[in-house]
Chain A
Amino acid sequence: MTLWWIGDIVLLVVVVPIVVYLLRGVLSAAESIVPTVDEIASVARAGSQDLDAAPLLLTTRDQVEQTVAGVANYGGSLDVILDDAEEEGE
């Protein structure tokens, strides 16, 4: 009978607080993840919006191609109308 009481007391005083402590730790850890995940989601959305201008790179590429083509034509004309530099030592 005495041992039974001792077992009950141990269960109430030791086991129950330990169980509650561990479960609260798990719950607090799980809840602390939620705001972090929400922030990551907002950052991912913002990053996706930042890339909305990425298709403009196609325009940039076309402009660069046209510019380089113009420079090449200009250089070709200059190559014709300007004499080459004299070789050093001549």
Chain B
Amino acid sequence: MLVVGLVAPAVVLIATVVLIVLALVYYLVSTIVALRRVAAGLDQVIDGVGEIVAKSAPVNEIVVAINQQLDAGVDLLEGLLVQKAGLSDAVGLIDGVYPGAAAAGLRNFPDSTEVEPPRIGEVYTKGTLTLARLGREAPVAAASPAGGEVLRNVEGGSLAARQLYPSVRHTSPEKLPRSPVIGTDAPVQYEERDDVGAPRKRLPAGGP
């Protein structure tokens, strides 16, 4: 009886320890599996990020080069416009084409922000202003401060212009009328009239 009394708590203790060990094994193995999946996912992340880094490496240099070229273009155009039209008219011309753009001024001419843009229609002829507004027909003008749609359809612009004329060539007909054949071998000969070059008829004397 005493032995049984001594063994029973020991058995319970051992069973409890075994239970704890089993729980440790189960949960730790599950944790290890989950961490391995995490490691595999992070490997994919590293691959993707590596590709991003490799692909974006030259972007900065190229964009800087593009910006330098565009800056040079802006400097050139601003300088030419101010040189040829004068600062005041240049600002007025810009404001005439892109209403409100004069407030931003010219980048290389800080004084241009203080210039009150003249009404350019009073300075230049209608034709000059029309030529200036041609720039708004470019696709890039869609983002102009003036807003609105692009005036010229780049793809259909040529057709739209040709449709103003009565010619049917822009419809791409299968057969067009042939040009007339002239000369001695022509299928249709036009005889010279007899009266051409002959003396003019004289009216009878004593007539009305």
Contacts and interface: CB of A to CB of B under 8 A. Distances in A.
B66 A51 contact: no
Interface residues of B, number: 52
Contacts of B63: 57
B134 interface: no
B interface: dominant SS: helix
B69 interface: yes
A20 B38 CA distance: 23
Nearest to B71: A68
A1 B2 CA distance: 10
A83 B85 CA distance: 9
B103 interface: no
B84 A86 contact: no
Contact of A79 (B35, B52, B56, B80): B80
Sorted nearest first, the 5 A-B pairs with minimum C-beta distance are A44-B48, A37-B41, A23-B27, A85-B86, A30-B34
Interface of A: 1, 4-5, 7-8, 11-12, 15-16, 19-20, 23-24, 26-27, 30-31, 33-34, 37-38, 40-41, 43-45, 47-48, 51-52, 54, 57-58, 60-61, 64-65, 67-68, 71-72, 75, 78-79, 82-86, 88
Interface of B: 5-6, 9-10, 12-13, 16-17, 19-20, 23-24, 26-28, 30-31, 34-35, 37-38, 41-42, 44-45, 47-49, 51-52, 55-56, 58-59, 62-63, 65-66, 69-70, 72-73, 76-77, 80, 82-86, 88-89
